[in-house]
Chains A and B, each alone.
Chain A
Amino acid sequence: MKCLLCRQNFSQNLTLAELLHWLPLLTDQICPHCQQRLVPITTACPECGRAQTSTERCRDCQRWLQAQPQQQLHNQALFIYNALLQDFFKRYKSLGDYRLRHAFNAPCQRWFAQYSADVYIPLPTDEQSFAQRGFNPVVGLYADCVPLTTCLKKRPQLVKQSHKKRQARLQTPQLFEFVGDPTGLNNKKILLLDDIYTTGRTMRHAQTCLKIAVPNCRLNTFTLAR
């Protein structure tokens, strides 16, 4: 195997359990050396999934709660957004290397096996960046792990979230609208998927949009990095 991140050859060390059980084998696309540089999140803020030593609500989320008391998020993230992931997202999203979408399939699949939901909804990209990239990065990341339902649409954006400063990001108005049929989602356990959680603005807008369209559903969110 060639590591998708560092392009070095490596071989996956299989455990006895992996060899013996009858489920399909999860093949790692990342070499052990790069995997060491990934920091998994264990104890985290219950709302945004930020890695911290306590399981209390973090300061950002306390502020969110003051601003919007009835809106509680439940986000879980796999890895801390460090230099390795920064480089990964630069190559995947900015340069547009679509092959990299498989890099985190194995850890995501393990996670989804543990926390399964009824419906998985990826956050959309606006038409302009889809035309430019040729793909939706969130769909690319999770399409091979779980069946995805697309029912959100992103309004055209003048400036990308990642090009704004923190305050400007927080002041971004609602970016999403609900398209399609909400009846199928009633009383379902829904998991909203995104790639990175930074300020929480995007995720909370998506949550609001969904809650308005489908008032009675259980809603959790998941991101690869926090």
Chain B
Amino acid sequence: MTVTELSNINNIPHLQQRPAMTSLNQNWLICARCGSRQLKQQVQLADGRYYCPNCLLLGRVCSDAYLVSLTEPNKFDVPADLLTWVGQLTPAQQKAAAAIRTYFAQQQDHLLWAVTGAGKTEMLFPGIAWALTQKLRVGIASPRVDVCLELMPRVQAAFANTPIMLLHGRQNEPYRYTQLVLCTTHQLLRFYHAFDVLIIDEVDAFPYAQNPQLAYATQQAVKATGARLFLTATPSPQLLRQVRQKRLALSYLPRRYHGHPLPQPKIRLCLKWRQQLYRQRLPTLLQRLLTNKIAQGQHFLLFIPRIELLAHLAPLLQQQFPDLKFATVHAADPQRLEKVQQMRQQQVSCLVTTTILERGVTFPGIDVIVLGADDAVFSAAALVQMAGRVGRSAARPTGAVDFLCAGLSRSVQQACRQIKQVNRKAGFK
């Protein structure tokens, strides 16, 4: 907002304003919205002003603009019948839920390390319910829009009488002011000292993990007296360092809610699979695995390392398995959300996908095949997450995870070791 626009709204009470960009020194300046450092000479406009290219998609901020925010008044009408969720937490989950609530009350940052399929979302409900009754403003953020879309109905069902605003980049609904907000981490850039409690799901996921601006966004979005809760199944070394430095409290949940161990991935050697795909042949091992799964009527996810491989794999699958109903998904796919929805409703029995579906999505009773698990794009965390898609429902707590690789990479070894360790910690042999 420019100064002239600002003068018109200056009579609104509780209005805070701060310059949108501040000069660090002769050469550098910092964007107050996204926290990125910019070289003046690179971001200068023809009329001498500077702008921030980093958060451009939210609308350009220039050095003569001001960021305006309202102080959060915390005046909410809390419905009498708040928590409409009916379900039982296991003793381990109850313990974690109690810890969450305590840290919310103590206004302390907190890391919840729970294995994939531990029932993280359900564990949050008591804590959120407590915060809402205290008239605190609560935000739930995730780096992935898929995760947000999946969380929305579950959270809405749990708090049926509380309005929830869902914010993400592809949404056109106008903004409503609500006590409970569900958004992607990018949307947090729009908030300034707004939340008393901010929950960030899947903190190790792309793009949050690689993007210091998003970490800055979570800092800005939460009040100075607020509490942040980080959720993950595969914490990064940085997060664990913060825990060691006692800047972050930790609770740990190694067991899934249904009490079964995580499925251990099977490493299978599949040499020259890439060349075979390029020569329009399905690798024999993949073909055998697929034939078995299709014969059993098993639904499954097939992960591949690169988008370009989809174009080679899709016609082959169609040709070899004409009865198989499958869809291909990648990040730039315009129909991505519809296809995931189809898989969830079991209209398709297989999704061939890149890493975008590695986390946060639950399809009941599926198996997972990772083709080229040794590819450099798959980090250990990504592999653990992909394996964690399996056996999430109590109805089918087991399942098969196959890593097809042409060689053994460090990530594959680390992922298998991590799963083994977590299972041992949970008391399985």
Q: Do A and B come from one complex?
A: yes
Residues on A close to B: CB < 8 A?
91, 95-99, 130-131, 133-136, 139-140
Task: Give the contacts of B12-45 with A (CB-CB under 8 A).
Answer: 42-45
Fill in one digit per residue for B235-255: 1 if any A CB lies within 8 Å of its CB, else 0.
000000000000000000000
- Does B303 reach chain A (CB closer than 8 Å)? no
Q: Given A97-B53, A99-B53, A134-B51: A140 and B46 within 8 A (CB)?
A: yes
Decide if B53 touches A134 in the complex (CB within 8 Å). Answer: no
A133's closest neighbor in chain B, by CB? B45
Fill in one digit per residue for B48-64: 1 if any A CB lies within 8 Å of its CB, else 0.
01010100110010100
Complex CA gap A139/B45 in Å reads 12
Given A97-B53, A97-B60; 10 other pairs, CB 8 A cutoff: A95-B56, A95-B57, A96-B51, A99-B53, A130-B47, A134-B45, A134-B46, A134-B47, A134-B51, A139-B46
Closest 6 CB pairs of A and B: A134-B45, A135-B46, A134-B47, A96-B60, A135-B45, A98-B45
A135's closest neighbor in chain B, by CB? B46
A11 to chain B, nearest CB (A): 18
B54 to chain A, nearest CB (A): 10
Q: Which of B46, B49, B51, B53 has the most C-beta atoms of chain A within 10 angstroms of its own C-beta? A: B46
Contact of B62 among A95, A99, A134 (CB under 8 A): A134
Residues of B within 8 A of A131 (CB): 47
Residues on B close to A: CB < 8 A?
42-47, 49, 51, 53, 56-57, 60, 62
Complex CA gap A37/B56 in Å reads 24
Residues of B within 8 A of A135 (CB): 45-47
Decide if A134 touches B49 in the complex (CB within 8 Å). Answer: yes
Decide if B47 touches A96 in the complex (CB within 8 Å). Answer: no
Decide if A97 touches B47 in the complex (CB within 8 Å). Answer: no
Decide if A98 touches B47 in the complex (CB within 8 Å). Answer: no
Counted as pairs of residues, one from A and one from B, with CB atoms less than 8 Å apart, the total is: 34
Tell me whether chain A's interface is mostly helix, strand or loop, or mixed: helix
Residues of A within 8 A of B60 (CB): 95-97
B5 to chain A, nearest CB (A): 12
A98's closest neighbor in chain B, by CB? B45
25 A-B pairs with CB atoms under 8 Å apart are A91-B56, A95-B56, A95-B57, A95-B60, A96-B45, A96-B51, A96-B60, A97-B53, A97-B56, A98-B45, A98-B46, A99-B43, A99-B53, A131-B47, A134-B46, A134-B47, A134-B49, A134-B51, A134-B62, A135-B45, A135-B46, A135-B47, A136-B46, A139-B46, A140-B46
Residues of B within 8 A of A140 (CB): 46
B148 to chain A, nearest CB (A): 24
Decide if B42 touches A99 in the complex (CB within 8 Å). Answer: yes
Residues of B within 8 A of A98 (CB): 43-46, 51
Complex CA gap A40/B233 in Å reads 49
Residues of B within 8 A of A130 (CB): 47
Q: Which of A98, A99, A130 has the most C-beta atoms of chain B within 10 angstroms of its own C-beta? A: A98
Complex CA gap A21/B47 in Å reads 37
Complex CA gap A19/B42 in Å reads 28
Complex CA gap A75/B45 in Å reads 29
Complex CA gap A130/B51 in Å reads 15
B56 to chain A, nearest CB (A): 5
B59's closest neighbor in chain A, by CB? A95
Residues of A within 8 A of B56 (CB): 91, 95-97
Complex CA gap A134/B52 in Å reads 13
B358 to chain A, nearest CB (A): 21
Residues of B within 8 A of A97 (CB): 53, 56, 60
Residues of B within 8 A of A133 (CB): 45
Complex CA gap A96/B59 in Å reads 9
A131's closest neighbor in chain B, by CB? B47
B226 to chain A, nearest CB (A): 32
Residues of A within 8 A of B43 (CB): 98-99
Complex CA gap A140/B44 in Å reads 12
Residues of B within 8 A of A91 (CB): 56
Residues of A within 8 A of B62 (CB): 134
A5 to chain B, nearest CB (A): 13
Complex CA gap A45/B62 in Å reads 42
B42's closest neighbor in chain A, by CB? A99
B51 to chain A, nearest CB (A): 7
B58's closest neighbor in chain A, by CB? A95
Residues of B within 8 A of A136 (CB): 46
B206 to chain A, nearest CB (A): 14
Complex CA gap A133/B56 in Å reads 13
Complex CA gap A17/B238 in Å reads 48
Residues of A within 8 A of B44 (CB): 98
B333 to chain A, nearest CB (A): 16
B293 to chain A, nearest CB (A): 35
B60's closest neighbor in chain A, by CB? A96
Complex CA gap A91/B51 in Å reads 14
B427 to chain A, nearest CB (A): 46
Residues of A within 8 A of B47 (CB): 130-131, 134-135
Residues of A within 8 A of B42 (CB): 99
Complex CA gap A43/B400 in Å reads 58
Complex CA gap A131/B62 in Å reads 12
B49's closest neighbor in chain A, by CB? A134
B47's closest neighbor in chain A, by CB? A134
